[in-house]
Amino acid sequence: MTDIHCHILHGIDDGPKDLDTALGLCYLAMENGIDKIIATPHLTRLTDLEDFIKVRDQKLSELRAELAKRELLLEIYPGAEVFASDDLLYPLPLGQASLNNSRYLLVEFAFFGLSFSTVLRYIEEILNRDLVPVVAHPERYSFLQIQYDRVNFLMDMGVLFQINAGSLASMGSKDEFDLAYEMVLKHAANFIGTDAHSLRNRPNELLRMIRSFPPNISQRGLDRMLNQAPQAVIDNEPVTRSLDSGLLRKKGH
């Protein structure tokens, strides 16, 4: 399986503090059936992009070297989790922060207090750069929790979505589970990621979390979100959308 959202690089954000802890996450990933990871450290300010890329690539090289030394069959690819802000309006080389230098950009938003019109403005700016926005953990955003049909609107724009495994395993709030589950049932979710940060804070125990998923999530759907779609990102190929995608509506509406 492939984890497209993982804070596995050491000493760059709020992920592992040192190389030993990063290696611990690598071992845990392999124990849980993960053989490919896109490293997605937080990029909170796009104006720091150049320095961020230098540090990220250095940490990535260090981790890859240790994996090779131990003969561990785990592939790590470069990426970032880009925080959407007005920095997106500057003419910066945004593609340098994409997932494995592809057309796909993992982007997160403020969890609360953000208007949907501002979200749309940021999404349009990313699309105008010929990049495909992959929204990280959409189930955690209040602007989607309160109005599920906004997911449909974003899908129509060409946005993709990455659900956190922990949300589907009921490790977060009920609001997070409800939206994540609805998105998976309606085939609106394109990827499942761990969003792992450390061995204690949201670890990448993917198989354990999958065992806690609702039983009516199909193996075919899991394979699409954990293997097929992530591989398309790594190869910079089109992500195939499910033909069964349906409209999301919040219960009671």
- Residue 1's CB is within 10 A of a number of other CB atoms, namely 20
CA distance 253 to 234: 38
Say if residues 111 and 143 touch (Cβ distance below 8 Å).
Answer: no
pLDDT value at 253 more than 60:
no
Going from N- to C-terminal start, the domains of the chain cover: 2-234
pLDDT level of residue 201 (50, 70, 90 thresholds): confident
Q: Which residues pair with 77 in a beta bridge?
A: 38
Average of pLDDT values for 134-147? 97
* Residue from 109, 201, 217 nearest 169 by CA: 217
CA distance 164 to 183: 12
Please report the pLDDT score of residue 243 as a whole number: 58
pLDDT value at 174 more than 80:
yes
pLDDT value at 35 more than 60:
yes
pLDDT digit string, tens, across residues 204-235? 999 999 999 999 999 999 999 999 999 999 99
Torsion angle in degrees (nearest 10) through CA of 237, 242, 243, 245: -140
Average of pLDDT values for 136-146? 97
pLDDT value at 109 more than 80:
yes
Looking at the chain, the whole-number percentage of residues with pLDDT higher than 70 is: 95
pLDDT value at 251 more than 60:
no
At 233, give phi and psi (nearest 5°).
Answer: -65, -50
CA atoms within 13 A on the CB side of 127: 14
> Is 73 strand, coil or helix?
coil
pLDDT level of residue 200 (50, 70, 90 thresholds): confident
Gyration radius from the chain CA atoms? 17
Looking at the chain, the whole-number percentage of residues with pLDDT higher than 90 is: 93
Average of pLDDT values for 1-23? 97
Tell me, what DSSP letter sits at residue 23? Answer: H
pLDDT level of residue 167 (50, 70, 90 thresholds): very high
- The amino acid occupying position 209 is M
pLDDT level of residue 250 (50, 70, 90 thresholds): low
How far is Cα of residue 8 from the mean position of the Cα atoms in its chain?
13
Which residues in 68-200 belong to E strands, given as ranges?
75-77, 81-83, 104-108, 132-136, 160-164, 191-193
Q: What's the whole-model pTM score?
A: 0.95
Mean pLDDT of the chain: 95
Average of pLDDT values for 133-153? 96
- Sign of the CA dihedral with 187 first, then 100, 195, and 122 last: negative
pLDDT level of residue 241 (50, 70, 90 thresholds): confident
* Residue from 164, 198, 193 nearest 26 by CA: 198
Task: Give me 224's structure tokens.
Answer: 């699409």
Q: Which residues pair with 193 in a beta bridge?
A: 164
The hierarchical CATH code for the domain 2-234 is 3.20.20.140
Say if residues 15 and 9 touch (Cβ distance below 8 Å).
Answer: yes
pLDDT level of residue 12 (50, 70, 90 thresholds): very high
Task: Give me 44's structure tokens.
Answer: 């909170």
